[in-house]
């Protein structure tokens, strides 16, 4: 069917999976087992409120406050909860620290386990076979694809989230960030750096720092 | 189970493909699947281990060629049917009637109390830790994950079975997924963080300065 024939705005048939979802949804609604507002509210929470900006705040706090960082590395669940983040798929948190000698990466080879309260829902690549299969056997090659080249002297630790512990990486604080506010620092923390496939951004030189 | 989901160390999947600025959900139906899964699991219709096991039981070729939230749909359906919450026949009848009618409106039903409860659960989570039981191993112990091959759910991937590692630390006492996924109860036991050298995992003579840390239930391990 070419583009011209759809200009009559006849609705396209739903793909098979969308129809199957509607059938399940309709059945569960009719049986009073779910509710439209309940489903929508949960979706909205993970689309809008719960995401990597949470984790970035945790990282920025750890960068500026050494006692917070100590608490974070000792009991991540409690320290993260101090900032108001907690919940599903983050009940048992572990934060692992990058140094100039150690670089950490997080994966779930068996499915897609990921620390939702601090990073939100995982990106497609994290859940797909390529990352899940290769992170444990060739981490350096995977990092290279993400643009991160680490010397052989740097130890790479790959954390396979096989149980209910959820891992977040504390990336290294970039150079040239002395005196920056927590809010500014948080903007440098990328999702990739907290999964461990990248590093935090360096601040723009020559741009006015807000 | 030795399913295709057990991907650690497999070859052939090519480069990691990153979509820049990808949306949280790519289609409206994905949002519905996500919401339905949270709503049904949070109400206790099935547990998270049963949910994961449901995905693992997909036909391998279907698992690999379908998208992530299609896996969720398959498992939610399977679990709801297995638990008797819905019947396969009524689901199929509903699908046929939607296909025939061409109008795909679903009823709207409001339940503010349920909506509130789900948000609370999202922010509170579950708790998989249980009262501590005596731990067999301690930090520094050399251990070997056993060569077990259960046809049912396990969180012991094939790539570590029979390889030698070292206990890094005790994580706590947790619900056992192998039993919890098949109606055999929580049977909590110690979980350890175990570290492996890349050379020991992949059989290479050269030390690569790479380690894999993985969380293991005590029953998975024997002294090495």
- Domain residues of chain B, as ranges? 28-124, 142-223
Give the CA-trace dihedral at A67, A70, A75, A77, to 10 degrees: 60
- Residue tagged active-site, from A111, A133, A162, A181: A111
Return the residue in B10, B16, B90 with the most chain A beta carbons within 10 A, the one to mutate for interface testing: B16
Q: How far apart are CA B73 and CA B88, in angstroms?
A: 14
pTM of the model: 0.95
Please tell me the number of Cα atoms within 13 Å of B222 on its side-chain side.
7
- The yes/no answer on whether domain B142-223 falls in CATH 3.20.20.70 is no
Task: Please check whether residue B174 touches A, CB under 8 A.
Answer: yes
Q: Which residues of A touch B6 (CB under 8 A)?
A: 109-110
* 8 Å CB contact of A160 and B38: no
Task: Please check whether residue B121 touches A, CB under 8 A.
Answer: yes
Which DSSP state fits A48?
Answer: I
* CA separation, residue B33 to residues A90, A119, B16 (Å): 21, 20, 25
Express each pLDDT in B31-79 by its tens digit. Answer: 999 999 999 999 999 999 999 999 999 999 999 999 999 999 999 999 9
Closest chain B residue to A40 measured between Cα atoms? B35
Task: Please check whether residue B20 touches A, CB under 8 A.
Answer: no
Assigned CATH topology for domain A50-195? Nitrile Hydratase; Chain A (3.90.330)
pLDDT of residue B105: 73
CATH class of the B28-124 domain in this structure: mainly alpha
Q: What is the ipTM, given to two decimal places?
A: 0.97
Specify whether A154 is catalytic. no
pLDDT of residue B200: 95
At A193 the three-state DSSP class reads helix
User: Which residues of chain B carry a pLDDT beneath 70?
Assistant: 103-104
Closest chain A residue to B201 measured between Cα atoms? A137
User: Which residues of chain A carry a pLDDT beneath 50?
Assistant: 1-8, 208-210
Could you identify the residue written with the tokens 């396990």? B154
Q: Which residues of A touch B175 (CB under 8 A)?
A: 164
pLDDT of residue A1: 42
Residues of chain A with CATH 3.90.330.10: 50-195
pLDDT of residue B175: 98
At A34 the three-state DSSP class reads coil
Express each pLDDT in A108-132 by its tens digit. Answer: 999 999 999 999 999 999 999 999 9
Using CB atoms and an 8 Å cut-off, which of residues 131-150 of chain B contact chain A?
none
- Strands (E) across chain B are located at 142-145, 165-174, 189-197, 210-217, 221-223
Domain B142-223 in the same topology as domain B28-124:
no
Task: Please check whether residue A141 touches B, CB under 8 A.
Answer: no
């Amino acid at each position: 069917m070419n583009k011209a024939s759809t200009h009559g705005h006849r609705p396209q048939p739903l793909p098979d999976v969308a129809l199957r979802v509607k059938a399940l949804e309709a059945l569960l609604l009719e049986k009073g087992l779910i509710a439209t507002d309940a489903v929508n509210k949960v979706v909205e929470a993970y689309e809008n409120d719960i995401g990597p900006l949470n984790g970035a705040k945790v990282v920025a706090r750890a960068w500026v406050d050494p006692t917070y960082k100590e608490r974070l590395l000792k009991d991540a669940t409690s320290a993260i909860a101090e900032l108001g983040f907690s919940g599903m798929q983050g009940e048992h948190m572990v934060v692992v620290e990058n140094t100039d000698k150690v670089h950490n990466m997080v994966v779930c080879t068996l499915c897609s386990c990921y620390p939702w309260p601090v990073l939100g829902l995982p990106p497609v690549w994290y859940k797909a076979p390529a990352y899940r299969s290769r992170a444990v056997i060739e981490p350096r090659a995977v990092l290279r694809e993400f643009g991160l080249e680490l010397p052989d002297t740097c130890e790479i630790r790959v954390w396979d989230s096989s149980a209910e512990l959820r891992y977040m990486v504390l990336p290294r604080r970039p150079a040239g960030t002395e005196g920056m506010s927590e809010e500014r620092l948080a903007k440098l923390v990328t999702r990739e750096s907290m999964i461990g496939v990248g590093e935090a951004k360096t601040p723009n030189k020559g741009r006015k720092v807000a | 189970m030795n399913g295709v989901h057990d991907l650690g160390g497999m070859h052939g999947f090519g480069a990691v493909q990153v979509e820049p600025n990808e949306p949280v959900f790519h289609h409206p139906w994905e949002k519905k699947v996500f919401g339905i899964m949270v709503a049904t699991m949070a109400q206790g219709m099935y547990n998270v281990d049963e949910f994961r096991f449901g995905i693992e039981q997909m036909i391998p070729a279907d698992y690999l060629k379908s998208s992530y939230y299609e896996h969720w749909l398959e498992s939610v359906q399977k679990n709801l049917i297995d638990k008797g919450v819905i019947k396969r026949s009524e689901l199929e009848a509903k699908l046929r009637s939607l296909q025939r009618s061409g109008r795909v409106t679903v009823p709207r039903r409001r339940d503010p109390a349920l909506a509130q409860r789900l948000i609370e659960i999202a922010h509170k989570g579950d708790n998989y830790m249980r009262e501590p039981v005596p731990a067999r191993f301690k930090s520094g112990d050399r251990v070997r994950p056993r060569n077990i091959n259960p046809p049912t759910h396990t969180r012991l991937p094939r790539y570590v079975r029979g390889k030698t590692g070292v206990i890094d630390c005790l994580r706590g006492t947790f619900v056992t997924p192998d039993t919890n996924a098949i109606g055999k109860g929580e049977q909590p036991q110690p979980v350890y963080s175990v570290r492996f050298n890349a050379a020991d995992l992949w059989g290479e003579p050269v030390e690569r300065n790479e380690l894999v840390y993985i969380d293991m239930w005590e029953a998975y391990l024997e002294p090495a």
